[in-house]
Amino acid sequence: MKEVIERILQAEQDAKQMVRDAREEARRLIQDARSSCHEIVERAREDARLEGQELLEKARQDAAEERQRILDDAGTRADLIGQSASIEDSPVITRAVHRLCGLKE
């Protein structure tokens, strides 16, 4: 009878240890999952930030190119207006056209 009780007590101790081990393993798995999740989120944020910077830089470049096209077109128009003016050799008209178009004299 003593032997049976000892086996039961040992079985209880073994079961308690198995539960403690399982809880510890679960805690480690949850911690690893949280850590992995945090790394994934941080990488996604960094990727989004870099993509945003690239899009912003592209938009800036496109805007600068469009501005230059507009200025070039305005300069061409100013030249045409200056050539077709009846007083085309007048420096006053040339300066006025350049100022209106935002061109350097």
CB burial string 69-87: b at 16+ within 10 A, e below: eeeeebbeebeebbeeeee
The tens digit of pLDDT for each residue in 7-57 reads 999 999 999 999 999 999 999 999 999 999 999 999 999 999 999 999 999
Give the chain's domain count.
Answer: 1
Q: Which residue has the higher pLDDT, 87 or 19?
A: 19
Expressed as residue numbers, the domain containing 51 is: 2-101
Check pLDDT > 60 for residue 86: no
Q: Quote the crossing angle between the two packed helices 2-84 and 91-101, to the nearest 10°.
A: 160
C-alpha triplet 20, 22, 11: angle, nearest 5°? 60
